[in-house]
Homo-oligomer: A and B are copies of this chain.
Amino acid sequence: MDMTKLETLGERARAAKYSLAALKEEQKNQALCRAADALMDNREFLLRENEKDLQAGQKNGMRPGLLDRLALDEKRIAAMAEGLRQIASLPDPVGEVLETFSRPNGLVINKLRVPIGVIGIIYEARPNVTADAFGLCFKTGNAVILKGGSDALCSNAAIETVLRQTLEDCRITPDAIALIRNCDRSTTAAFMRLNEYVDLLIPRGGAGLIRAVVENATVPVIETGTGNCHIFVDESADIDMAVRIILNAKTQRVSVCNACESLVIHTKVRDRLLPALAAALKEKQVQIRADERVREVIDGCLAATEEDYAAEYLDYIISMKTVDSLEEAIAHINRYSTGHSEAILTGSQENAERFLQEVDSACVYVNASTRFTDGFEFGFGAEIGISTQKLHARGPMGLKELTSYKYTIRGNGQVRG
């Protein structure tokens, strides 16, 4: 482990954060647009470096799905560039006055939105995250230190080089972005404990990566993205709407955290819902794992286990559980949910309100698909992830969620009595 190197990156990022916090919005937007241009201008370089990663990946027997996520092409580079331009077009949250109040002693207190400082991102072999995380952190005046998957090192280093050069061209400190090039485990472990320099760690990736960061980090972490999302079909649900929403939430894109993994069904709606739903799911080749009361009416589905109710499948699989009441549905969901997104499908206003109140998740829906839990769908214009913890940010995190605040207090000689 090259600890000296890591400390150097940390020190540089910490030094950079002061000047980044003072950048004007236009400066940041110009730099983001120039960075977008630079990615396009350097696409041959980026594709060449990406090819090295792809060849190594193929040699190492990387799975096709992962190779696909690693691969860059002209279209994906254009999408990265477009992402930076889009971030440039969003309002800058830094400097916003959140509150102003005066005290009887004459002190005037302002609560101001400020950057967090230095943000660390730990992610898997997806080069697009490199540009995206930089864009979001830079727009909010934060320095970012990136630790990407080792399989994408050449691609990430190429993107970092282009971005750092652009910043220099704009006379902005290139230390706004740093990529950790040493990919051994001990460097990653040390990065998670770099409290002296790093203010926040955001892991982006699968449940295993996120668990490893939560287990090992001493730097504050925002947990993102694990979603065992439930839909509860209440007694009074509209059956056509229910089939349409469940199908969308389960199958529109199975690999994402806001996809529905588990269905909770009121016994009184079972016989009306399940025939139509089972046919629709069968058409999409969704495997059903269910309790006995569901299996009484759907042929050929597997018995659900405890593990099924807790699972985030990210696949064409759904678990089903019947309940006798709204209370039982809420208790089941609060027990197995990861606190991401849950929905009730109901015709009852009263049951809807109770579900919204009592289900303890970041996003709770009435009569809509859980797939809307997303920074873009919420109108934030961008997203760094979906927080499933209670601290700092919950649900979709856009630009505002990458800021902190400070108090400024103006006096004229006040002392405490």
Contacts and interface: CB of A to CB of B under 8 A. Distances in A.
A413 B377 contact: no
Nearest to A238: B413
Given A244-B413, A356-B408, 9 more contacts: A109-B378, A238-B413, A363-B406, A364-B409, A366-B408, A366-B411, A368-B413, A372-B416, A390-B404
Pick from A103, A116, A395, A408 the residue with the most CB of B within 10 Å: A408
A367 to B, nearest CB: 5
B22 A358 contact: yes
A415 B116 contact: no
Contacts of A414: 245, 367-369, 372
A351 interface: no
19 contacts: A107-B372, A116-B390, A199-B389, A199-B390, A199-B391, A200-B390, A352-B410, A360-B406, A363-B408, A365-B408, A366-B409, A367-B411, A368-B410, A368-B412, A369-B414, A369-B415, A394-B404, A395-B406, A395-B407
B18 A358 contact: yes
Contacts of A245: 413-415
Interface residues of A, number: 66
A182 interface: no
Interface of A: 17-18, 21-22, 101, 103, 107, 109, 116-117, 195, 199-200, 214-215, 218, 220-222, 238, 241, 244-245, 247-249, 252, 334, 352, 356-358, 360-369, 371-372, 377-379, 389-392, 394-395, 404-416
Contact of A377 (B366, B372, B416): B416
A360 B18 CA distance: 8
Contact of A406 (B101, B214, B222, B362): B362
A377 to B, nearest CB: 7
B389 A220 contact: yes
Contacts of A109: 378
Nearest to A248: B415
Contact of A103 (B366, B367, B377): B377
A314 to B, nearest CB: 17
A230 to B, nearest CB: 14
